[in-house]
Amino acid sequence: MTDAQTLNGIQNAEVSVQGNSLQTITDVQGHYTLQSVPVGVVTVLASASGYAPQSQAVAVTANTMVTADFSLTPQSEIVTQLVQPVDFHYLGAFRLPGGFERPATFAYGGNAMTFNPDGDSTGASDGFPGSLFITGHERMPYGELPNGNQFAEVNIPEPVASQNPDMLNAAGFIQDFRDAAQGLFTTYDEIPRIGIQYLSTPATGPRIHIAWGQHFHESPEDQAPTHAWIGPNLSSPDPRGTWYIGDQSFYSVNGYMFEIPASWADAHAQGRYLGTGRYRDGGWSGQGPQLFAYRPWIDNSGTPATSGTHLQETVLLRYVSSTESEDVVNRSLNGYQHPDEWEGGDLDYDDYRQVGCSVCGDERDRSEVLVRLASSGRTAIPMY
């Protein structure tokens, strides 16, 4: 393993096999050996402090020595590069807490998640500070579960790379499930689409911003405002809103959210620090992902806009919808197909950080409700 800039060997770099406990470190010349690697195609991961992680697929045959060389790029040299799938380094997963009685369960949940850097003051001891706000079991229509999509806050234990859920560490509740969105978006319960983003600004203090929609928005009662905010104390959320995003389609604004760095937003998005968008299959939202910047407070004191306001937005990314044009060759994202899906995103100028990648679970297999974590370089687009 070598430094891509100097070509010198990298000592004490970690090399491992994804989905396996095999791992080793490199010697002073950057050499390493992994023994007892299973036959077949495996993914070898390489990482070192101060370098971008790498991975490569390696075909292993019985009783044969296979070489896998890595040339790692120093972090300072990649800050202008786009993140590619190979840049992600899987850290592992952990189990979510709680039972399985709806609505206070993560089963059939995890629609939305956001990182709270100020949560879990004891988390630094395991190297994973902060906490996660996550939504639980979905709302269901026709009065079956009108109080679904409740909010909970959990800590972040050390992730474990294992295919056996019993080997994973378990998160704990910092705040148990609360119906913090009670009274908001009451008509949106038919396959809800939700994004949430924790954002603390000098004007507003800490807030959890919410985007909320559903599968269909065709009838007038299904065209209510789509955005709001609550406070991080789930027992006393103090909701504000609800608001529209300009006059944009309901199918293009309420699926995901993320923070836009203030310096970039001030220069390019009129000081609008929240990104929101959605992809609706079939190209109804647009034949590619949609993204709009907005800000729901109106002054430096953090006064929220009046409920029902059509907030001004900055269009950052917009493709024409399939209802506007059926031209998927010239008026769509390269390689676009109607069954595509985009969920979640991040825009970050920090040099390397951890990102939560997904919440996954299966109501039919209640033993596996977990969060997976990965790390990557400066700009990350996690898909939840």
Task: Specify the pairing of strand 173-178 against strand 193-201.
Answer: unpaired
Beta strands in 142-290 (DSSP E): 151-155, 173-178, 193-201, 205-213, 227-230, 240-245, 256-259, 274-277
Most trustworthy range by pLDDT among 13-27, 30-44, 181-195, 316-330: 181-195
Q: How confident is the model over 35-50, as a mean pLDDT?
A: 85
Tell me where in the chain the CATH 2.60.40.1120 domain(s) lie: 2-78
Task: Order the strands of the 291-294 sheet from edge to edge.
Answer: 256-259, 274-277, 291-294, 313-317
Q: Does 368 score more than 50 pLDDT?
A: no
Q: How confident is the model over 293-317, as a mean pLDDT?
A: 95
Q: Does 47 score more than 50 pLDDT?
A: yes
Q: How confident is the model over 336-345, as a mean pLDDT?
A: 81
Q: Does 379 score more than 50 pLDDT?
A: no
**pLDDT value at residue 112:** 93
Q: Does 206 score more than 60 pLDDT?
A: yes
Do 148 and 102 meet the contact criterion of CB atoms below 8 Å apart?
A: yes
Question: What are the pLDDT digits (tens) for 90-105?
Answer: 788 899 999 999 999 9
Assign domain 2-78 to its CATH architecture. Answer: Sandwich (2.60)
- Between the CA of residue 195 and those of 140, 154, 192, 258, 359, what are the distances in Å? 17, 17, 10, 8, 13
Cis peptide before 232 (omega within 30 of 0): no
Distance between CA 198 and CA 230 in Å, rounded?
10
**pLDDT value at residue 352:** 33
126: alpha, beta or left? (left if phi > 0; alpha if psi -120 to 50):
alpha
Q: Does 324 score more than 50 pLDDT?
A: yes
What pTM did the predictor assign? 0.74
> Which residues neighbour 347 within 8 Å (Cβ) at sequence distance 6 or greater?
258, 259, 260, 261, 264, 275, 379
Q: What is the mean pLDDT of the chain?
A: 84
**pLDDT value at residue 372:** 55
**pLDDT value at residue 76:** 59
